[in-house]
Amino acid sequence: MPKLDLTAPSIDLTRTICDIPSVSDDETALADLIHEAVLALPHLEVYRDGDTIVARTNLGRSQRVAIAGHIDTVPINDNVPTRDVAIDGEPFIWGRGTVDMKAGVAVQLKLAHDLADPRVDLTWMWYDHEEVDADLNGLTRLARTRPDLFEADFAILGEPSNGTVEGGCNGNLRAIVRTHGVRAHSARAWIGENAIHKAAPVLARLADYRPRAILVDGLEYREGLNAVRIDGGIAGNVIPDLCEIEVNYRFAPSRSADEAVAHVKSVFDGFEVDVVDIAPGARPGLDAPLAQEFLAAVGGEPRPKYGWTDVARFSAMGVPAVNYGPGDPHLAHHDEERVPLAQIVDVERGLRAWLT
Amino acid sequence: MPKLDLTAPSIDLTRTICDIPSVSDDETALADLIHEAVLALPHLEVYRDGDTIVARTNLGRSQRVAIAGHIDTVPINDNVPTRDVAIDGEPFIWGRGTVDMKAGVAVQLKLAHDLADPRVDLTWMWYDHEEVDADLNGLTRLARTRPDLFEADFAILGEPSNGTVEGGCNGNLRAIVRTHGVRAHSARAWIGENAIHKAAPVLARLADYRPRAILVDGLEYREGLNAVRIDGGIAGNVIPDLCEIEVNYRFAPSRSADEAVAHVKSVFDGFEVDVVDIAPGARPGLDAPLAQEFLAAVGGEPRPKYGWTDVARFSAMGVPAVNYGPGDPHLAHHDEERVPLAQIVDVERGLRAWLT
């Protein structure tokens, strides 16, 4: 494996790190390269925990900004290695991770190299397991072992936001809704009770559900409630006694975790509901002084972030945080994931201008 | 492995062959023992094809009766080896295969040994892979390679029927109903289309479906339409683009295969329906002269058979066929499968009396 060359342009760095597969649980090769590259930078103090790497300046500035990005991706689907493509004449890098979020990480690595003398102290964080259960997230681990590393006055997550500032994020809840029946031979179905048939009203409630759009601190958050998995059945001649529907609720940052749980339980009233994962959202936090400064420096109208991101983690720790990165979030996880070169350059320029 | 002792009582033979696991695709050990035991009987001509064994008398009688039983079982679930149990003072053999249908096979093996001089020629058939796809069924294979072995004036399948004659059988169809959507990140569900939500009306139609009961040649057949499997979903944060519902339709023997397909397609009108397995039913066939004689000899009121059995295969080949075996068909595939000793003895006595 060649070394990472942080003197290369961030566009080239994007191609390089996208071509190193790092699907969740398989981040070590990329983490090793990042670790090696930042260890070589004398202006940074480096800490590693598993496949999470933290690199900090210690210049005694009055303020500190944390800038973070996850290095894992969702599974590859014939979209690695990257390709250069043009759409309506505009150049893109196409492939898994280009949007979510290795272009953002490439910009961060480039700036971590270049900014030896920023106007605030910087804490760079590159972490593993963001695309899977919150329990496995590298920042969850780090928050337990080294909460001091999260101390900052403001945080920027490089999640894709089309190069504009996206404030806060929706919360994220997953739950299993279960229906139960009684097994029987399907030739004599009347002896049993079909658990899959009993799931009909669960799917009907999901199909009829009209998600809300909620204004929080001036930004409108769209919610969503979806089945993401359904599973039932034993054999082709057996009436099934269990059906499981996994639902995913994305909830506005004005709702607490408890309120989100209560809402899901009320939607599926009368059914067994088992919450398996919950991560509260984060209010936009755009009224913080550093956030205002940052907004003024990079320009554009701030927007709400729909997907859950680790801004919620910083927010819960009292650190105002926003998303700011290259790539269209609608293309995250998409097989045609692709990032415009211009956004990579713009985000690098925006961050560099504000930090120097 | 000890030899099978066909001089032992059929109750003991039931215990012995139930304690030799023979889940579909794993019948060889039991088939080998049966093969060896019947090869030792000079009054039988023996033919083997895979794990299917055919043993025939050739006494020049004017009529021939085929008597058949499958030697495979559905998967074991902590119910092998067998145990002797008593319920309300009545003795049972409990365990996988006792009902479906090794007690019936034990009676057949016993009579194959004892009846060297029956009043009709006999064709005994013990076969594999009955509990899985019709394509894999040992008799499907044999009907292709040696159709001559099916020639008979009447056939008796030893499928569990509580020791009474059950005529004909329902047909059996399996189909996949599919709904399609568009994948998207679940944080922005409005970009995609949820295939699981689209399955709501499929489950609603199944839940609302009222199966018919249809009189065929004096016996009432209960139909059934059931989901036996449902499957959809990619990951906890992805809107799924596919949901599959496998349905099982048990249809009265008065419906043809084409009519059964048309019925299922009309129930799921508007959805993609893919028929994956179909086996037509069989009319009761109780008006055949040998059937009438047999009914008179064993006594009792004939009943309809709900489950699909290989009587349909004989029926389709022009051989009237009935089910007659020990065990309660409601307990077939049940983890508490158990056969009353008295029914094993009664069925052996009934067959022996008629055949000698």
In sequence order, what DSSP letters do the residues of B44-105 get, joined into one string? -EEEEETTEEEEE-----S-EEEEEEE--BSPPSS--S-EEEEETTEEEEESTTIIIIIHHH
Mean per-residue pLDDT for A142-170?
A: 94
In sequence order, what DSSP letters do the residues of A264-275 get, joined into one string? HHHHTTTSEEEE
User: What does the pLDDT look like over A82-120, one tens digit per residue?
Assistant: 999 999 999 999 999 999 999 999 999 999 999 999 999
- Decide if B134 contacts B279 (C-beta within 8 A): yes
Residues of chain B found within 8 Å of residue A238, distances taken between Cβ atoms: 228, 333
- Decide if A221 contacts A253 (C-beta within 8 A): yes
Q: How far is A63 from chain B (nearest CA, A)?
A: 33
Q: Two tokens at A119?
A: 């106007």
Contacts of B208 (CB under 8 A, 6+ apart): none
pLDDT at B21: 97
- Decide if B225 contacts A191 (C-beta within 8 A): no
CB pairs under 8 A between A and B: 196
Residues of chain B found within 8 Å of residue A235, distances taken between Cβ atoms: 74, 228
Q: Do A131 and B203 touch (CB under 8 A)?
A: no
Closest residue of chain B to A308, computed from CA coordinates: B187
Q: Do A187 and B170 touch (CB under 8 A)?
A: yes
Integer Cα distance of A37 and B46 in angstroms:
77
Helix (H) or strand (E) holding A123: strand A121-127
Amino acid in the structure at residue B63: Q
- A135: helix, strand or coil: helix
Q: Do A227 and B197 touch (CB under 8 A)?
A: yes
User: What does the pLDDT look like over A263-276, one tens digit per residue?
Assistant: 999 999 999 999 99
In sequence order, what DSSP letters do the residues of B106-172 get, joined into one string? HHHHHHHHH-SS-SSEEEEEEES--SS-GGG-HHHHHHHH-GGGG--SEEEE----TTS-EESB-EE
B72 flagged as catalytic: yes
* Interface contact A198, partner B, CB < 8 A: yes
Cα three-residue angle B253-B256-B259, rounded to 5 degrees: 120
A171-279 CATH pick, 3.10.20.600, 3.40.50.2300, 3.30.1360.120, 3.30.70.360: 3.30.70.360
* Interface contact B222, partner A, CB < 8 A: yes
* Interface contact B1, partner A, CB < 8 A: no
Of A248, A241, A243, A242, the C-alpha closest to A230 is A243
For chain B, the distance separating the N- and C-terminal CA atoms, rounded to the nearest angstrom, is 33
Q: How far is B162 from chain A (nearest CA, A)?
A: 15
Of B74, B289, B277, the C-alpha closest to B173 is B277
A285: left (phi over 0), alpha (psi -120 to 50) or beta: left
Domain edges within chain B = 10-169+282-355, 171-279
- Cα B101 to chain centroid distance, Å, stands at 8
Task: Please determine, for residue A22, whether its predicted confidence score (pLDDT) is greater than 70.
Answer: yes
Q: Do A187 and B239 touch (CB under 8 A)?
A: no
Integer Cα distance of B93 and B211 in angstroms:
34
Which residue has tokens 């590159």? A126
* Interface contact B210, partner A, CB < 8 A: no
User: What does the pLDDT look like over B163-208, one tens digit per residue?
Assistant: 999 988 899 999 999 999 998 889 889 989 999 999 999 999 999 9
* Interface contact B262, partner A, CB < 8 A: no
Q: Do B199 and A203 touch (CB under 8 A)?
A: yes
pLDDT at A135: 87
Selecting from A131, A237, A333 the residue whose C-beta is nearest the C-beta of B248 gives A237
B244 flagged as catalytic: no
* Interface contact A199, partner B, CB < 8 A: yes
DSSP state of B23: B
Of B310, B293, B304, the C-alpha closest to B329 is B304
Closest residue of chain A to B191, computed from CA coordinates: A330
Integer Cα distance of B2 and A306 in angstroms:
69
For chain A, the distance separating the N- and C-terminal CA atoms, rounded to the nearest angstrom, is 33
DSSP state of A189: G
* Interface contact B82, partner A, CB < 8 A: no
Integer Cα distance of B164 and B350 in angstroms:
10
Tell whether domain A10-169+282-355 is in CATH 3.40.630.10: yes
- Decide if A175 contacts A275 (C-beta within 8 A): yes
Q: Do A232 and B237 touch (CB under 8 A)?
A: no
**Grouped pLDDT means (10 residues each) for chain B, 356 residues:** 91 98 97 98 97 98 97 94 96 97 98 97 98 91 96 96 92 97 90 96 98 92 97 93 97 95 98 94 86 88 87 90 94 92 97 95
* Interface contact A306, partner B, CB < 8 A: yes
- Cα A152 to chain centroid distance, Å, stands at 20
In sequence order, what DSSP letters do the residues of A5-39 get, joined into one string? -TTS-HHHHHHHHHTS--BTT--HHHHHHHHHHHH
Spot the catalytic one: A51, A121, A128, A130: A130
Of all residues in chain A, what percent carry a pLDDT higher than 90?
Answer: 82
pLDDT at B256: 93
pLDDT at B118: 97
Selecting from A188, A239, A240 the residue whose C-beta is nearest the C-beta of B306 gives A188
- Decide if A249 contacts A263 (C-beta within 8 A): yes
Which residue has tokens 């972490």? A127
Q: How far is A109 from chain B (nearest CA, A)?
A: 26
pLDDT at A1: 64
pLDDT at B58: 97
For an interface test with B, give the residue of A197, A268, A323 to mutate (most B CBs within 10 A). Answer: A197
B210: how many CB neighbours lie within 10 A of its CB? 6
Closest residue of chain B to A228, computed from CA coordinates: B233
Question: What is the greatest pairwise CA distance in chain A?
Answer: 77
Residues of chain B found within 8 Å of residue A251, distances taken between Cβ atoms: none
Task: Please determine, for residue A204, whether its predicted confidence score (pLDDT) is greater than 90.
Answer: yes
Closest residue of chain B to A209, computed from CA coordinates: B197
H-assigned helices in chain A: 10-18, 28-39, 103-114, 138-145, 195-198, 200-208, 257-267, 289-298, 311-316, 341-355
Could you tell me which residue, A183 or A264, shows the higher pLDDT? A264
User: What does the pLDDT look like over A33-55, one tens digit per residue?
Assistant: 999 999 999 999 999 999 999 99
Q: Which residues 142-181 of A have a C-beta within 8 angstroms of B? A: 170, 172, 174
Three-state helix/strand/coil letters over B64-80:
EEEEEEECCECCCCCCC
* Interface contact B191, partner A, CB < 8 A: yes
pLDDT at A93: 98
Closest residue of chain A to B247, computed from CA coordinates: A236
Residues of chain B found within 8 Å of residue A232, distances taken between Cβ atoms: 227, 229-230
Task: Please determine, for residue A230, whether its predicted confidence score (pLDDT) is greater than 70.
Answer: yes
Integer Cα distance of B81 and B78 in angstroms:
8
Q: Do B200 and A185 touch (CB under 8 A)?
A: no
In sequence order, what DSSP letters do the residues of A281-335 get, joined into one string? -B---TTSHHHHHHHHHH-S--EE--S--THHHHHHTT--EEE--SS-GGGTT-T
Confidence of residue A60 (pLDDT cuts 50, 70, 90): very high
Cα three-residue angle B223-B228-B231, rounded to 5 degrees: 150
* Interface contact A221, partner B, CB < 8 A: no
Provide ipTM, 2 decimals. Answer: 0.76
Residues of chain A found within 8 Å of residue B203, distances taken between Cβ atoms: 196-197, 199-200, 203
Closest residue of chain A to B195, computed from CA coordinates: A227
Q: How far is A1 from chain B (nearest CA, A)?
A: 31
Task: Please determine, for residue A2, whether its predicted confidence score (pLDDT) is greater than 80.
Answer: no
Gyration radius of chain B's alpha carbons: 22
Bridge partner list, B323: B157, B166
Residues of chain A found within 8 Å of residue B193, distances taken between Cβ atoms: none
A204: how many CB neighbours lie within 10 A of its CB? 16
Handedness of CA A129, A135, A140, A145 (dihedral sign): negative
Closest residue of chain A to B199, computed from CA coordinates: A203
Q: Do B196 and A237 touch (CB under 8 A)?
A: no
Integer Cα distance of A138 and A152 in angstroms:
18
Residues of chain A found within 8 Å of residue B242, distances taken between Cβ atoms: none
* Interface contact A224, partner B, CB < 8 A: yes
Contacts of A210 (CB under 8 A, 6+ apart): none
Q: Which residues 12-71 of B have a C-beta within 8 angstroms of A? A: none
Integer Cα distance of B302 and A340 in angstroms:
76
- A344: helix, strand or coil: helix
Phi (first) and psi of residue A91, to 5 degrees: -80, 135
Q: Do A307 and B188 touch (CB under 8 A)?
A: yes
pLDDT at B1: 64
Give the β-pairing of A321-323 and A154-157. parallel
* Interface contact B129, partner A, CB < 8 A: no
Q: Rounded to whole angstroms, what are the CA distances from A354 to A111, A299, B206?
A: 12, 11, 61
Half-sphere exposure of A342 (CA within 13 A, CB side): 8
Which residue has tokens 């290695």? A81
